[in-house]
Amino acid sequence: MADTLAGKVALVTGAGRGIGRAIARKLAGHGAAVVANDLDAAPVNETVEELRGTGARALAVPGNVTAPDFGERFVKAAVDAFGSIDIIINNAGYTWDNVIQKMGDDQWYAMLDVHATAPFRILRAALPHIREALKRDEAAGRRVTRKVVNITSVSAVFGNAGQVGYAAGKSAAIGLTKALAKEWGRYNVTVNCVGFGLIETRLTQPLTGQDARIEVEGRQIPVGVQPRSIEAVKVMCPLGRAGTPEEAAGAVYFFASPDSDYVSSQVLVVNGGTN
């Protein structure tokens, strides 16, 4: 595998499982040092140990991305360990679904906090380091393109009943992407978005009588999708199936790679061609 990201330092939130772990593997496989985060320490430590086992440089920074100080702490850990920031992947997130009349303020704000406020804080914390890196690049007479990839959803692009909070949070990620692409172009930073459809992860597993749950800030939140909904999506998808985390990571890698150095402010929908 070509080391297209050799010498780069990538920050990936939500990298303990699923799509986030696949992204971390993909970037490390192309030579990047990876600073991996997850809400739970055990899975993100597993990710980092796996990457180190392949010879990659990797660091675990567990913690809740919605904590007010997390952005500063995450960025500082990356700079202290590896000296720079080249790629930021805002992937952490989860679904907490309900129709609007049954949705409380806590549920609404949880979706906005994790999908919009957390990426905002991480990016704000990273900017001073990006500006300093640009000065060094210019002094050395080299042009380096840095990357931001925010993860959104087809729920934000097309809407989805029962996901008003999730769709709003993921829509905010698109707005953040579009505005930041215009602000950060002068720093040689591209800012793009990848919007996923049905990807096979624990958040999209079929619901059963023993529903899976995740714990966030002491709340037990059910995750999963009704089996009939999964089958309906597969029927509507021209490819006839859900995507894999590895396929999802490939789209993110494109925006992180040199192949997209002149691509910015874009939303790439990854859903097998479903409209």
List the beta bridge partners of residue 147.
87, 190
The residue type of 44 is V
The secondary structure element, H or E, covering residue 81 is helix 70-82
Residue type, 88: I
> Interior CA angle at 150 toward 112 and 114, to 5°?
25
Q: What is the largest CA-CA distance in the chain?
A: 62
Residue 19 main-chain phi, psi, to 5 deg: -60, -40
Query: Of the candidates 206, 201, 209, which has an alpha carbon nearest to the alpha carbon of residue 230?
Result: 206
Residue among 160, 162, 153, 158 at smallest CA distance from 91:
153
With beta carbons less than 8 A apart as the criterion, state whether 192 and 266 touch: yes
Q: How far apart are CA 263 and CA 270, in angstroms?
A: 17
Distance, CA of 89 to CA of 118 (rounded, Å): 12
Give the pair of three-digit tokens for residue 54.
């392949």
- 187 is an active site residue: no
Q: Which of 94, 166, 187, 253 is catalytic?
A: 166
Catalytic site residues? 166
